[in-house]
Structure formats: C-alpha cells, structure tokens
C-alpha cells in the first residue's frame, strides 16, 4: 500500500523504543516510553495559505526529526508497521 500525505503532513517511522532505563534496568513493554524521533518516509506538497501562496514542508524524505511526546496521535498501519502522520508544525527539529 502506498500513502501520499496531503498539505503539510508527513509520514514518519518512529525510532526504536528504549528497553532499558538510564540506570540499566530492563523495562517491560508497558513501561517503555515511545521515542519522540523518527525518519521521514513521505511528505506532502506543502500548505496553501489564504492568499494562495504555498509554503513547502521544512524537511525532506530521509531526515531524522524530533517531535513532541504527545504529537502524532494519527497513526496508520502499512505492511504491518505502525507509522505516524504528523503536521510540519508538530516538528521540533532535525537530528544530523
């Protein structure tokens, strides 16, 4: 299945969950925090403003992005993998 985001939306694969705490304690699945960074898989064409100008998305496919802990409540399953749909405004930055 292919998914093409619209507007300023992004399709993001969340990074791996931390399975150990900072002190080295192995955490059960229910106690692990979902990571707040991931890889951009697809981007929309950008947002169209009221005056007709188009603002492109600020990242490109393949970028590693950081987003808020509670961002990405919209998810989609593609080929058994759960992916996030984020808005460009949900992003906090990129990791290089």
Domains of the chain: 9-20+31-95 (2.30.33.40)
| Mean pLDDT of all residues belonging to the chain | 85
- Report the pLDDT averaged over residues 33-39: 81
- Structure tokens that stand for 26 in this block: 């192995």
Task: Report the C-alpha gap between 66 and 87 in whole angstroms.
Answer: 12
Task: Report the C-alpha gap between 19 and 27 in whole angstroms.
Answer: 5
pLDDT at 28: 59
The fraction of the chain above a pLDDT of 70, given in percent, is 81
H-helix or E-strand spanning residue 82: strand 81-87
pLDDT at 33: 60
73 or 52: which leads in pLDDT: 52
- Report the pLDDT averaged over residues 35-64: 92
Question: Do residues 5 and 44 lie in contact, with contact meaning Cβ atoms separated by under 8 Å?
Answer: yes
- Report the pLDDT averaged over residues 52-65: 94
**What pLDDT band is residue 70 in, cutting at 50, 70 and 90?**
confident
Task: Report the C-alpha gap between 67 and 90 in whole angstroms.
Answer: 6
């Amino acid at each position: 299945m292919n998914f093409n985001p619209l507007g300023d939306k992004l399709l993001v694969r969340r990074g791996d969950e931390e399975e150990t705490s900072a002190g080295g304690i192995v955490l059960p699945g229910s106690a692990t925090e979902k990571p707040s960074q991931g890889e951009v898989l697809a981007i929309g064409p950008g947002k169209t403003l009221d005056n007709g100008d188009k603002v492109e998305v600020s990242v490109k496919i393949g970028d590693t992005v950081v987003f808020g802990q509670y961002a990405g409540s919209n998810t989609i399953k593609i080929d058994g993998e759960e992916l996030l749909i984020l808005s460009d405004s949900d992003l906090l930055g990129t990791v290089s």
